[in-house]
């Protein structure tokens, strides 16, 4: 019984210490991640594929709201080059509503965010209702640099 109690106390103290460490490093890392998210958004706005993907890992797992899945940065570049050529898609203006950043470990962060796209059109030129895109991104710190290793985009139309 004495060993179990000490083991449990040790595990509790370890968990508390790790949690404290992760929280202590959040401010600078959080700022770096927020900057990366802004760079990705700016790349999209400018139709700059290189800027958009510069912080993605070479083996990123990326899926958009239409189910297109890319498993490398090179595949993602190819898809974005095509998407950036569609005027009806690029007419939309994106407004980021929030970024919720949670650090699971000092090297892993999960980000949930929402972007509302206004003014986008369908391929036939008709106006599209505002798109509510939800992003789930996983960041990994590699060699002191945060990289997006997974990015899932889902879409929900506004509820009535």
42-96 confidence digits (pLDDT tens) = 999 999 999 999 999 999 999 999 899 999 999 999 999 999 998 888 888 888 8
Question: Band of the pLDDT at 7, cuts 50, 70, 90?
Answer: low
Whole-number pLDDT of residue 19: 55
Question: Band of the pLDDT at 3, cuts 50, 70, 90?
Answer: very low
Residue range(s) defining the domain that contains residue 27:
2-157
CATH number at 120 reads: 3.10.450.50
Q: How many domains does the chain have?
A: 1
For residue 111, pLDDT over 60 is answered with yes
Q: How far apart are CA 160 and CA 140, in angstroms?
A: 38
What single string gives the DSSP state of each residue in 74-96? HHHHHHHHHHHT-HHHHT-EEEE
């Amino acid at each position: 019984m004495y060993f179990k109690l000490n083991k449990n106390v040790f595990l509790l103290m370890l968990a508390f210490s790790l949690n404290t460490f992760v929280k202590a490093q959040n401010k600078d890392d959080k700022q770096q991640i927020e900057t990366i998210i802004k760079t990705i958004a700016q790349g999209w706005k400018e139709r700059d594929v290189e800027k958009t993907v510069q912080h993605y890992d070479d083996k990123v797992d990326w899926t958009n709201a239409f189910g297109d899945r890319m498993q490398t940065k090179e595949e993602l570049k190819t898809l974005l080059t095509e998407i950036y050529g569609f005027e009806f898609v690029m007419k939309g203006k994106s407004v980021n509503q929030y970024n919720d950043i949670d650090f699971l470990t000092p090297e892993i962060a999960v980000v949930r965010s929402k972007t509302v796209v206004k003014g986008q059109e369908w391929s036939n030129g008709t106006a599209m209702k505002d798109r509510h895109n939800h992003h789930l991104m996983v960041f990994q710190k590699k060699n002191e640099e945060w990289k997006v290793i997974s990015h899932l985009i889902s879409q929900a139309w506004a509820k009535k």
